[in-house]
Amino acid sequence: MGNPTPLLEIRDLRASAGGVEILKGLNLTVNAGEVHAIMGPNGSGKSTLANVLSGRPSVEVTGGSVHYHGIDLLELAPEQRAVDGLFLAFQYPVEIPGVANSYFMKAALNAARKHRGEEPLDGMDFLTFARERMKLVEFDEKLLHRSLNEGFSGGEKKRNEILQMAILEPRLAILDETDSGLDIDALRIVANGVNTLRSPERSTIMITHYQRLLDYVVPDFVHVLADGQIVTSGGAELAHELEKKGYVWLQTEVPAP
């Protein structure tokens, strides 16, 4: 039996935003069931990577390839990626007044169900399902009936992202600095949600500046991103080493690949 097709295979990825090259030949392979952490200093290209993978139009891919379960991910519109199981938890979730959170989530879930050839859920069935998922992230049902993220606290917005993840059950979840700005209780709740969804079919990429989240969600692999490339990779212990020595250590001791 040969190696199965990786869930995500990034080869020599180059990308620019606002005319500035940010990703400069990035390589990464993620197999089904794995949890990867990508760490790196500010400006290293962490969020740009998340944006490329989710298809944000303002980021221009200038070279390389990304394959998602064997298909060319870069050819797909953001919504096609989403219904095919790719999920980005936003660093800064957008507030959208006038769009009810519940309506939005039902529309998102039914778009994915349609893609899979399943019948759409009606309002009642959706609510039953959503209630069960809300327990995972200790989500207040009142927030489900408010406008999407409008007036939510920072922690509520991040929990709303994880709730959407729990409802959409993605194959590949990318968490973009989901831990930043969270107090310790909110961090624990978010981590608990991520851990509960961990399964052999699902993969997760956690993008983070700090090691803190990795105490709660232990990754299989840790990669360090600097100046648009992955400069070193290792197991969970690499995160602790970084925490002790700081990112400066990279520039002095780790040789470029």
Partner 1 sequence: MSAEQSHSQSHFQSHFGAQFARREDEFASASPAWLAPVRRAAMQRFDELGLPTRKDEPWKYTPTSRIAKAAFLQEPRSESGLSREDIVRIFGEPAADCSLVFENGRFTRSLSSVDALPETVTASSLAEILRDDPDQVQRSLSVRADSLTRPLAALNLAFVHDGAFLSIGSSRDEQSIELLFVSTRAAGVANLRNIIRIASGANAVISMRYASDLAADASVEDVRSAGDYLTNAVTSVELGDNAELDLISVQNEADCALHLSSVDVEQQRDSRFRSHLFAIGAGLSRSEVNSVLAAPGADCALNGLFLVGGTQHVDNQTVIDHASPHCSSRELYKGVLGGRSRGVFNGLVRVREDAQKTNAQQSNSNLLVSDRAHVNTKPTLEIYADDVKCAHGSTIGRLDEDALFYLRSRGLDERSATQLLIGAFVSEVGEAIPHELVRAHVERTVAAKLATVTSSEIA
Interface residue list for partner 1 (CB under 8 A): 54-58, 77-79, 81-83, 88, 90, 93-94, 96-99, 104, 107-108, 111-112, 115, 147, 164, 168
* Closest to partner 1 by CB, 88 or 186: 88
Minimum distance from CB of 152 to partner 1 (Å)?
A: 14
- Cβ 30 vs Cβ 69: under 8 Å: no
From the list 202, 106, 193, the residue with the least C-alpha distance to 155 is 193
* Closest to partner 1 by CB, 168 or 187: 168
* Closest to partner 1 by CB, 22 or 168: 168
Minimum distance from CB of 190 to partner 1 (Å)?
A: 18
Minimum distance from CB of 220 to partner 1 (Å)?
A: 25
- Cβ 187 vs Cβ 179: under 8 Å: yes
Q: ∠ CA 53-117-35 to the nearest 5 degrees?
A: 35
* Closest to partner 1 by CB, 46 or 81: 81
- Which tokens hold the place of 75? 């050819």
* Closest to partner 1 by CB, 83 or 136: 83
* Exposure string for 109-128, b = 16+ CB within 10 A, e = fewer: bbebeeeeeeeebeeeebbe
* Closest to partner 1 by CB, 55 or 64: 55
| Distance (Å) of CA 225 to CA 56, 105, 247 | 20, 33, 10
Minimum distance from CB of 64 to partner 1 (Å)?
A: 21
Minimum distance from CB of 17 to partner 1 (Å)?
A: 13
Minimum distance from CB of 83 to partner 1 (Å)?
A: 5
* Exposure string for 226-245, b = 16+ CB within 10 A, e = fewer: bbbbbbbeeebebbeebeee
Q: CA 230, 45, 66, 31 torsion: positive or negative? A: positive
Burial class (CB in 10 A: 0-12, 13-18, 19+), 80: middle
